[in-house]
Amino acid sequence: MTRRARWALPLVALGASAAVAGCGTTRATSAARERPEAAMTAALPTAREVPKGWLPAERQRVLEGIRPTDPDCARLLRLADADGDRGPRGLRNAPQAHAVYYLPDPGATLAARVFRLPPGDAAARLAEARAAIAGCPRLGMEVGDDREVRLRRVRPPRPGRLLPDQVGVRYLHGSGGRRAGLDVLVARAGDDLLVVAAPGAFGGGGARLIERAEARALRKLRAAHRRGAAAPTAPAP
C-alpha cells in the first residue's frame, strides 16, 4: 500500500511527497511508446530493493517547501523536482519513470526519476546541474508562521563512482541530531538521466539511511544500463 509521506524538521513539520514507480508519457518513436513499462522502471529501485526502513509513497513533487534564492538555485530545484509537465523544457514529455519512498523515522523522502533523452541531452543536463550547484550556495526553506530558514551548501559524502558521470550536493540547516535539509543527486548512464531528490532529517542516523538509498538508486541505473534495459533512444527534436 502506498501513502503520502511527511518529513519533519526539528522546528516544524514540512510537507514532503512521493510516488510509486510508474511510466510517464513519451514523445518519441512508436518503439518508445510501445516499450514495456517493466523495461522503463527497471532502472529504478523497487520496494524490495531499497534499504530496510524505506516504504513506498504516492507520486507527487517533493520540494514544494524549498525556495530558490537566485536563478541558479531555481534551475537546480526545477531539475531536482521535475515531474511530468512541471519541470525543465525537454524533460516534461520525455519518456520517464518515477519511484519515491519515505522513511518514517527519523523522517525523509527519496524521489528517484529516470528520463530517456535524445543523444547528447543527458550529458548537457548533467553539466547544467553542475553549474547550478556551483552557483547556489544556499536555499530557503519554509518552516511555518511565515518564517524561513536558510539551508547552506555542504559537500556530501561521496557515494563512490558508481557511474562515470554523476554529481551531488547537500544543503543543511541545524547541527548534530537536529540537522535537516536536502540532497540532490544527478547521474547519467548513456542517454538515461537519473535525478534523485531527498529532503529530510539528517540527524539521528538519517544521513546514513538517505545515502544508502541514493547508492541503491545509482547501482540500479548502472545495472539496467549494462543489461540494455534502457528505453530506445528518443529522436532529437
pLDDT, tens only, 140-192: 887 666 778 899 999 877 666 678 799 999 999 988 888 999 999 999 999 99
Q: What is the pLDDT of residue 83?
A: 72
pLDDT band at 228 (very low <50, low <70, confident <90, very high): confident
Please report, for the chain, the start and end positions of each structural domain, with discontinuous segments joined by +. 6-227
Q: Which CATH number fits domain 6-227: 3.40.1000.70, 3.40.50.620, 3.90.1170.50, 3.40.640.10?
A: 3.40.1000.70
Residues above pLDDT 70, as percent of the chain: 75
Q: What is the mean pLDDT of the chain?
A: 78
Residues whose CB is less than 8 angstroms from the CB of residue 192 and which lie 6 or more positions away in sequence, other chains included: 43, 114, 115, 116, 117, 122, 221, 224, 225, 230, 231
Above 60 in pLDDT, residue 30?
Answer: no
Q: What is the pLDDT of residue 181?
A: 92
pLDDT digits (tens, 9 = 90+) for 50-66: 999 999 998 878 888 78
pTM, two decimals, is 0.79
